[in-house]
């Protein structure tokens, strides 16, 4: 159905007010996912209605609520500092499925490896449902790392690829940026020999969501989208 701006505005108001029944709300939300004009109308109404929220009286919750929240965000026991801790990188689930997915995907994503001395390393980042998000591969006869993004960030964000500190934190105590992920499709990232070697030593990689153009700091600043390890095929 074609929605003119006035209808969009009214429906956005009803959506924000909260009066839509479930079916109407679902239809609306489906459209909200791609219709920027509708998204803008919703934002405008949200700002208008914010005044209700501001005027609410305050009620202090019992202490036990914070205690449970605190327990649920507690980091796992850390060995070797914040950056070395996998608990810091939230996506443990992604980590667990990497190896299996990597083996399954390798035949689809990589050209056959010829019988020579070349070795191909690959890591796959997945979401909770094991759908691949990013595929990173590197061949022993190349200076480049091939990165493929199967998802893309919001308009003003970028995905950035990081090499995690090594386990003993001898060579690196902080993540090292390897570059930005393409906004879809595949690209090559040129790497120094040191980094190439480090990556082949089964170092961990991570992808974080950063402001457009990459982290403003030498370390990740945004949420981590996934963690993976390079494996040799």
Partner 1 sequence: MADPEVLQHLLFQCAREDRNAFSRLYQLTSPKLFSFLLRILKKPDLAEDALQEVFLKIWHRAADYRPDRGAPINWLMRITRNHALDRLRRTAREPRTEEPPEWEEWLSPDAGPVDQASTSADMTRFVECLDELQEEQRKSLLLAYYYGYTHDELADTMKAPLGTVKSWVRRGLQRVKACIEQ
Token couple for 224:
């981590």
Q: Does 36 bind partner 1 (CB under 8 A)?
A: no
Q: Is 178 helix (H, G, I), strand (E, B) or coil?
A: strand
Among residues 185 and 223, whose Cβ is nearest to partner 1?
A: 223
Q: Does 221 bind partner 1 (CB under 8 A)?
A: yes
Among residues 2 and 54, whose Cβ is nearest to partner 1?
A: 54
- Of 21, 36, 114, 168, which lies in the binding site for partner 1, with binding defined by CB under 8 A? 21
- Of 27, 48, 118, 213, which lies in the binding site for partner 1, with binding defined by CB under 8 A? 48
Do 134 and 124 touch, CB atoms closer than 8 A? Answer: yes
Binding mask 77-96 for partner 1 (x = CB under 8 A): -----------x-x------
Q: Is 170 helix (H, G, I), strand (E, B) or coil?
A: coil
Tell me the window of 70-78, 104-112, 116-124, 177-185 that interacts with partner 1 (CB under 8 A).
Answer: 70-78
Please tell me the distance from the alpha carbon of residue 129 to that of residue 176, in angstroms, as a whole number: 28
- Write phi, then psi, for 176 (nearest 5 degrees): -115, 130
Q: Does 59 bind partner 1 (CB under 8 A)?
A: yes
Q: Does 58 bind partner 1 (CB under 8 A)?
A: yes
Sorted by sequence, the CB contacts under 8 Å of residue 81 that are 6+ apart come out as 165, 169, 173
Q: Does 43 bind partner 1 (CB under 8 A)?
A: yes
* CA 77 remoteness from chain centre: 24
Q: Is 62 helix (H, G, I), strand (E, B) or coil?
A: coil
Q: What are 159's strand-pairing partners?
A: 209
| Binders of partner 1 in range 190-219 (CB under 8 A) | 209
Where do contacts with partner 1 occur on this chain (CB under 8 A)?
9-10, 13-14, 16-22, 43, 46-62, 64-66, 68-70, 72-73, 88, 90, 209, 221-223
């Amino acid at each position: 159905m074609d929605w003119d701006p006035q209808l969009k505005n009214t429906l956005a108001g009803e959506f924000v007010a909260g009066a839509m029944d479930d079916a109407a709300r679902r239809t609306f939300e489906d459209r909200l996912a791609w219709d920027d004009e509708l998204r803008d109308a919703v934002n405008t109404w949200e700002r208008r209605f914010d005044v209700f929220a501001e005027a609410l009286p305050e009620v202090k919750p019992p202490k036990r609520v914070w205690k449970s929240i605190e327990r649920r965000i507690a980091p796992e026991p850390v060995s070797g500092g914040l950056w070395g801790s996998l608990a810091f990188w939230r996506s443990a689930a992604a980590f667990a499925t990497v190896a299996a997915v990597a083996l399954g995907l390798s035949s689809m994503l990589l050209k056959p490896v010829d019988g020579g001395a070349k070795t191909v390393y690959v890591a796959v980042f997945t979401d909770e449902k094991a759908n691949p998000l990013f595929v990173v591969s590197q061949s022993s006869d190349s200076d480049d790392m091939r990165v493929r993004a199967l998802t893309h960030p919001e308009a003003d964000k970028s995905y950035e690829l990081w090499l995690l500190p090594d386990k003993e934190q001898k060579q690196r105590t902080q993540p090292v940026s390897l570059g930005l992920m393409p906004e879809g499709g595949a690209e090559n990232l040129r790497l120094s020999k040191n980094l190439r070697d480090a990556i082949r030593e089964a170092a961990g990689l991570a992808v974080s969501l950063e402001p457009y153009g990459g982290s403003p700091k030498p370390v990740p600043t945004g949420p981590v989208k996934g963690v993976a390890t390079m494996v040799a095929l």
